[in-house]
Chain A
Amino acid sequence: MINGTVVALSRWQFAMTALYHFLFVPLTLGLTFLLAAMETVYVTTGKQIYRDMAQFWGKLFLINFALGVSTGLTMEFEFGTNWSFYSGFVGDIFGAPLAIEGLMAFFMESTFVGLMAFGWQRLTKVQHLIVTYLVALGSNLSALWILVANGFMQDPQGAKFNPLTMRMELHDFPALLFSPDAQDKFVHTSIAGYVTASVFVLGVSAYYMLQRRHMALAKRSFRMAALFGVLATAGVITLGDALGFVGGHAQPTKLAAMEAMWHTEAPPAPFNVAAIPSQSQQRNLWTLQIPYVLTPLITHTTTQSVPGVDTLEAQAVQRIKNGIPAVEALKRLSSNPNDPQALTQFDAHQADLGYGFLVQRYAPNQDVALATNADIAKAARDVIPQVAPIFWTFRVMVAMGLLMLAFFIAAVMFTLRNDAEKHRWFLKLALWMIPVPFVACEMGWLVAELGRQPWTVYQMLPTWMAASSHTVGYMVFSLAGFLLLYSIFIAVEMYLMVKFIRLGPSAHGRESPAHGGGSAGTYAPAAMLK
């Protein structure tokens, strides 16, 4: 059995690299479409200011894009280096979307990013606009395939375990691509990126407006980001609910943890606004509840029951008992693939194979035939992920989403009246809002991934058996290396962003006083983009 510390360190390493990477991704996803919107106005109206806007925000996009790519590459290798059993077990399915992501979206994105950055003087206006849209589409398609792969881990659709090859095999690609989890997750994540970019553009524009610099660019960017953001935030909340609805059916254990529901209650169940969950006592030490709200929130009905931890653990006991014969049959098939009795036994119990694996770690000598009721009870307890972190990260994410909705509505109101610059308190608030969507995105990722535990592939492959068999020393060394390297990347990103934001748009000198332009720009880093 793989050392538990190695598994924990492998999880930490992937979590840290993914969390770092996910600081860059949402801004890339959203900023590309905002750039496309700015350039669309430039092409349709011919006004230079929109070209200046597209070039200035494009410069910040490039900084973010470069660092996003460099942090993302290592993660693809981590599947092989740190999660080799997982890669072998589901490589047939997982490899397809990952390869498409690499070949199609990634190359498409990278190629057109080059054209977008260096093509201003070489392409016609319309050609450049098409290129910008292709960059936007490419970056979001890149996210699509990653999230299809992740959707499979959350809700394995379109695949079947083959007892003769001892791995999962893809048998229905459309089911994989169009799984409800993948669809919801992609749209939720992509639009969360739009929100992130909108808050970022709005915050930086507010900074210029506070300083009364680059007013033409700032006011237009503020307006476009506010409208972009309010619609995107409404979308992200709607999709968040859809994801909860789909997840409630596909991953009831995650849902129980998100809501700190230790016991199944008669519908309509109360909603825990705040709680102090105790995993060891399997109860909430303190709660603040709103009666009758949870059931309609989760099921969109008032009569459907939402299973709590007690029910889910009881179901897990039965599924583990049913999964044990599947693992036993698999053992026999590994030594004799032509054993018809073993094959029949496996077919009868294969639905709960993953639950059989779950108890294997507690069984004497990892022989599931020797598993006692106490072992089964321990494994059944494992199916409930850590409630407190999931409960609170989910609430932080939701609170931030609602905060951003209110923020964007106020921004839209002020900008439509064309007096945003008069509300200095709001401009200062906009600056402080910049980190909010980044934190919300990180929280969302934590809810999704912590909530999937103890599984790497939900109900199929437990995390404890998915990792590679490294030494603890190797894992500690590589984890420390990644932390150091990625912290440097973050520092570089912050430095470059702040530097280029302070310098301002390169073409500022071209702004006419009629556009509200202030003093001439102090810097011309346009060479970077021409």
Chain B
Amino acid sequence: MKTFWMFLVYLLIALLVIVLGIILGDIGPWYFAWLVGTVMIVLISAAGGALLDTQEEEQESSRA
């Protein structure tokens, strides 16, 4: 149940971010936004991968 509520909270945050994006960007400099957004997406995704390594190392050391 907790997972479901967390899911709903995150979903609401995502929708809020989208609405903010919509309000701020009626006619936006979208090419620029694409460049910045792509770099951000790639870096966050890469950081997520590296974070998993850290999480797994922590789990292993706590098991040892």
B residues whose Cβ falls under 8 Å from a Cβ of A: 3, 6-7, 10-11, 14, 17-18, 21-23, 25-31, 33-34, 37-38, 40-46, 48-53, 55-56, 59-60
Where chain A touches its partner, the secondary structure class is: helix
**Contact at A44–B50, with CB atoms within 8 Å?**
yes
Take A36-B42, A40-B42 as given contacts and tell me if A191 and B52 are in contact as well, using a CB distance cutoff of 8 Å. Answer: no
**With contacts A235-B37, A242-B30, A418-B59 known, is A228 near B45, CB below 8 A?**
yes
Interface pairs (25), CB distance under 8 Å: A33-B42, A36-B42, A37-B46, A41-B46, A41-B49, A178-B31, A180-B27, A190-B38, A226-B48, A227-B41, A227-B44, A228-B41, A228-B44, A231-B45, A232-B41, A234-B14, A238-B25, A242-B26, A245-B27, A300-B26, A412-B10, A413-B6, A413-B7, A418-B59, A516-B56
- Contact at A410–B7, with CB atoms within 8 Å? yes
Q: Kindly state the separation between the CA atoms of A194 and B38 in the bound complex, as whole angstroms.
A: 9
Distance, CA A521 to CA B49, complexed state (A): 22
Interface size on A, residues (CB 8 A): 54
Interface contact tally, CB-CB below 8 A: 126
Q: Give Cα distance in the complex from A219 to B55, angstroms.
A: 12
**Least CB distance, A247 to chain B, in whole angstroms:** 12
Chain B residues positioned under 8 Å from A231 (CB to CB)? 37, 40-41, 44-45
C-beta contact mask, A210-232 vs B, less than 8 Å → 1, else 0?
Answer: 00000000011001111110111
The 7 closest A-B pairs by CB, nearest first: A238-B21, A183-B30, A228-B45, A227-B48, A37-B45, A187-B34, A37-B42
Chain B neighbourhood of A399, CB < 8 A: none
Given contacts A45-B53, A234-B18, A409-B10, contact A33 B25 (CB under 8 A): no
Contacting residues of chain A (419-444) with chain B, CB-CB under 8 angstroms:
none
Give Cα A271–Cα B53 distance, bound, in whole angstroms. Answer: 47
Tell me the chain A residues, 31-68 only, with Cβ under 8 Å from chain B: 33-34, 36-38, 40-41, 44-45, 47, 50
Contact A238:B6 (CB < 8 A) given known A45-B53, A418-B52, A418-B56: no
Quick one: which of B22, B31, B48, B55 has the most chain A CB within 10 A?
B48
Residue A405 is within 8 A (CB to CB) of chain B in the complex:
yes
**A515 vs B23: C-alpha distance when bound (angstroms):** 44
Q: Does chain B have a CB within 8 A of A186? A: yes
B52 to chain A, nearest CB (A): 5
Are B10 and A33 in touch, CB under 8 angstroms? no
Chain B residue nearest in CB terms to A177: B31
Interchain CB contact (< 8 A) of A187 among B3, B22, B30 = B30
Tell me if B21 and A234 are in contact (CB < 8 A).
Answer: yes
A238 touching B50 by the CB < 8 A rule? no
- Set of chain A residues within 8 Å of B22, measured between Cβ atoms: 238, 241-242, 300
The reply to whether A413 and B10 contact each other, CB–CB distance below 8 Å, is yes
A38–B49 touching, CB < 8 Å: yes
B52 cross-chain contacts in A, Cβ below 8 A? 219-220, 223, 415, 418
Tell me if B18 and A237 are in contact (CB < 8 A). Answer: yes
A residues less than 8 Å from B33 (CB atoms): 187
Cβ of A514 under 8 Å from chain B:
yes
User: Bound complex: CA of A232 vs CA of B45, how far in Å?
Assistant: 11
Q: How far is the CA of A40 from the CA of B18 in the complex (A)?
A: 28
Verify A409–B60 contact, CB threshold 8 A.
no
A206 to B45, CA, bound (A): 17
CB of A234 within 8 A of CB of B17, answer yes
A149 to chain B: which residues have CB within 8 Å?
A: none
